[in-house]
Amino acid sequence: MIDPFGRSIDYLRVSVTDRCDFRCTYCMAEDMTFLPKRDLLSLEELDRLCTTFVEKGVRKLRLTGGEPLVRKNIMHLVRQLSRHLDSGALRELTLTTNGSQLARFAGELADCGVKRINVSLDTLDPVKFRTITRWGDLGRVMQGLDAAQAAGIAVKINAVALKGFNDAEIPDLMRWAHGRGMDLTVIETMPMGEIDADRTDQYLPLSLLRANLERQFTLTDIPYKTGGPARYVEVAETGGRLGFITPMTHNFCESCNRVRLTCTGTLYMCLGQEDAADLRAPLRASEGNELLSHAIDEAIGRKPKGHDFVIDRRTNRPSVSRHMSVTGG
């Protein structure tokens, strides 16, 4: 699949649910209204959609949420999708999780061919962790990380950099992650959905964070890629990798290779744009996939050049109205 700007689209992110067992302050309002369960695609429909994308050239498939592991019978879908790993059609099946359910599912994920996961973790302070997630238990996440690594799954930690909250903690978070053999990626907060906080108070440009880190560490740019938007450096003092995802200060749109599918069958060609395509209707219109394949082609043909994210004092409304949990990041 080639978009209008010559980019090959080979990475699909699939939100299997908009629900989550956390309420992270930069992601959701505390009193969220979630979709009725009847509006969600069935696991069989998600499998059919993903399979169609694989047949059209997707080589990396990431399951997201909300929190993907709270979806009922989610491991049935993971096991079904793993057949594309066995056939060689899919290069990687992975997921992004908050880690709360990993202790329960890590072994089975590894059995299904999941070799690498991303775990969202913004602080190592149990009190601050409860504050930022509202409902989270850091000890439970740590048990999940232990289980994942014991199962042989490589873990990358994702941390949203938040001014005045965890910016001073990033060096310790990096040392901890690298000490456990895990990469760390830091992410700029994005203006998606109405939340209870003012994002201008939270927003920390990663150019500033990097400059601060370079006072303590030797950072060397490296060409390492995982298929996502992170730009990586090697940290001489720890021997580990640190990634920067910078949608605000240095967008990565020129190399975007991904599209995002929601749990209702809506395809977003860009995280930071509202334009979308309904794939549920053609999916359910026939038993064959010709209509669905045509709808995907039409959507890829509308993929924009880039996003329009803005965070400043003059922009009081989020750049896009939907919450991050709807699209899966």
CA dihedral 74, 155, 269, 203 (to 10 degrees): 120
Q: Which pLDDT tens digits describe the chain residue by residue (329 residues)?
A: 999 999 999 999 999 999 998 888 888 777 777 888 888 999 999 999 999 999 999 999 999 999 999 999 999 999 999 999 999 999 999 999 999 999 999 999 999 999 999 999 999 999 999 998 998 899 999 999 999 999 999 999 999 999 999 999 999 999 999 999 999 999 998 654 454 555 556 778 999 999 999 999 999 999 998 877 889 999 999 999 999 998 665 556 777 889 999 999 999 998 777 889 999 999 999 889 999 999 999 999 999 887 654 444 455 554 445 455 556 55
**Which residues are annotated binding-site positions for GTP?**
13, 62, 96, 156, 258-260
**Which residues are annotated binding-site positions for [4Fe-4S] cluster?**
20, 24, 27, 253, 256, 270
Measured distance CA(228)–CA(250) in Å, rounded: 15
**Which residues are annotated binding-site positions?**
13, 20, 24, 26-27, 62, 66, 96, 120, 156, 190, 253, 256, 258-260, 270
Superfamily of domain 11-327 in CATH is Aldolase class I (3.20.20.70)
Matching residue, tokens 């066995």? 86
Q: Assign 242 to helix, strand or coil.
A: strand
Note whether 135 and 32 are within 8 A (CB): no
The two tokens of residue 30 are: 């505390």
Measured distance CA(102)–CA(109) in Å, rounded: 9
The b/e string for 260-291 (b: 16+ C-beta within 10 A; e otherwise) is bbbbebbbbbbbbbeebbebbebbeeeeebee
Say if residue 223 is exposed, middle or buried (CB neighbours under 10 Å; 0-12, 13-18, 19+): exposed
Residues near 36 by Cβ (< 8 Å), separated by ≥ 6? Answer: none
Say if residue 37 is exposed, middle or buried (CB neighbours under 10 Å; 0-12, 13-18, 19+): exposed
